[in-house]
Amino acid sequence: MLEWMHNKDITKDLHTNFAVMTLERCEQFILDSWSDSKNMHLAISDKDDEYLGTVSLKNIDYEKSFAEFAITIRKCAMGTGVSKLGMDTILEKAIKDLNLNKVYWCVNKSNQRAIKFYDKNKFIKTSNIPKKILERYPENISDELIWYVHK
């Protein structure tokens, strides 16, 4: 996990400073995630159980039936199909297991690799984002983001 967090090619378009992360903070994130009902973080791994990335549902709102999606993949796993598999798996959990109606996520307009991936897989762009999600993003970056929804 720490490998992708310290890879500038992966984090340059993200809105969190992952460069300050330490191994201890990563371990604490994992431990905290086991008892966190508002967020679901799952590791993506290969057949040998090697960590390839993380897929998440964040800020789950059970009352309004939506969540925010996030995914991060190690450089060595890009282009292998694990991103699509991880995404499909957590979106299915959101709908079937958590009974959510919609899952939203955004990508920086400069992140062309991610945009091509989402568009190739026919994910739906949207401008109708719940206020509760938008409030977590600084207003000055809203023009830099493309939003998607899965319903």
SS3 150: strand
Q: What is the pLDDT of residue 12?
A: 72
Closest CA to 106 of 131, 82, 70, 130: 70
Q: What is the pLDDT of residue 128?
A: 93
Q: What is the pLDDT of residue 49?
A: 92
Q: What is the mean pLDDT of residues 16-24?
A: 83
Global confidence as pTM: 0.84
| Span 90-120, pLDDT tens digits | 999 999 999 999 999 999 998 898 999 999 9
Question: Is residue 106 a contact partner of residue 133, using CB atoms and an 8 Å limit?
Answer: no
Neighbour-count burial of 20, counting CB atoms closer than 10 A to its CB (0-12 exposed, 13-18 middle, 19+ buried): exposed
Go through the domains of the chain in sequence order and give each one's CATH number: 2-150 (3.40.630.30)
Confidence of residue 143 (pLDDT cuts 50, 70, 90): confident
